[in-house]
Structure 1
Amino acid sequence: MRTTFMANAQNVQKEWFIVDAAGQTVGRLASQVAMVLRGKHKPTFTPHVDCGDHVIIINAEEVVFTGKKLEQKLYRHHTGYAGGLKEVAAKDMLQRHPERVLMHAIKGMLPKNSLGRKLLTNVRIYAGTEHNHEAQQPKELKF
């Protein structure tokens, strides 16, 4: 008789991975990191369970946009007040807060529910090469 495997919190094995974002395209990197965060690279993937791994991204300041996105892409948010729409160009966002560029891209590729919000806590993004997760002994992940 065949049985179906469904992961739950007790039988999920989580690992730590480190990704070097230097020279990588923002969208391509974000889609691959989102897949690892979700756990789709594992044979035990279960859609409604957090079975993904932890990902550390370094060198976020060295990511690349294709085409004219660096000048034309805008990040928008609203303050909640009348006339409170704020726009920041990708070029300015990459200079001031390079980790937010990748966080925004990865967030858009995760589910829009409570599981997606929980999965987003499993990614750590750093602008430079320094991070404080050596104790977790992360494995290098290449795309």
Structure 2
Amino acid sequence: MSASRRVQQWLTFTRQWWLFDAKWQDPFESAKVINKHLKGAHKPIFGGHADCGDHVVVINSQDIAMRGDEWYYRVYFHHTGYPGGATWTKAWELHKKDPTMIIWKACYRDLEKDLTRRGRMQRLHIFKDSNIPKDIIQNITDQIPQLRTVPKRLKDYSQEEIEKFPKLFDYPKEHVLD
């Protein structure tokens, strides 16, 4: 086997580190993509018998977006193990307590319920903002593209871009805006 083929084989079987930016992303749609990389389903050697998944680093989990009123209607169950220890927490309350928990629970729910689930979840690293420890950042080799593009805010546009934007109509000079 030539040296280049050997290197290609090593790269196929090594665990890569992927970066995913969760800003303005739906956590349940993102979980499907993240789990695909945690399982290794994106690799050509993927099979149910081998654990060939990669590490995924998720940043900006405090800026996730849910559809409609899902922040108020989605609830999460937790049980302490003691009698009367069952609690139901709304999504906005859980996100306020721990901004990483909603993405963690979405990924945990979508993985198969078998013996590999725990090991795959240990390869998921979630951070509430873009501050990542140096020992993790040096391992990142690639990036998972966002599912939705993040729109620019009005303050992010330059004055020149705002003036070039087409106007529907001009207000009369005597018009007063409230």
TM-score over 0.5 for the pair: yes
CA deviation map 1:59-104 (0-9, x unaligned) = 0000111121100111111222222211111001111101111000
**What letter matches 1:29 in structure 2?**
S
Provide the identity percentage.
Answer: 27
| Contact map agreement 2:17 2:55 (CA 8 A) in 1 | yes
List alignment gaps of at least 5 residues for structure 2.
Answer: 1-11, 147-178
- Larger deviation, residues 81-90 vs 126-135: 81-90
1:137 is displaced (CA, Å) by: 3.4
2:130 and 2:63 map into 1 onto residues whose CA distance is: 11
Work out the CA distance in 2 between the residues paired with 1:79 and 1:53.
31
Query: Which residue of structure 1 aligns with residue 85 of structure 2?
Result: 84
Paired residue for 1:5? none
**Larger RCO, structures 1/2 (Cα 8 Å, 6+ apart):** 1
Segment drifting more, 74-83 vs 40-49: 74-83
How much has 1:139 moved relative to structure 2?
Answer: 1.6
User: How far does the alpha carbon of each residue in 1:7-28 deviate from its partner, in whole angstroms, 9 at most, with x for none?
Assistant: xxxx722111111000101110
2:20 touches 2:143 (CA, 8 Å); kept in 1? yes
SS of 2:28 mapped into structure 1: helix
Unaligned runs of 5+ in 1: 1-10
- Superposed, 1:1-143 pairs within 5 Å as 12-132=13-133, 133-143=136-146
Report how far residue 36 of structure 1 moved: 0.8
RMSD: 1.3
TM-score by length of 1: 0.87
Aligned residues: 133
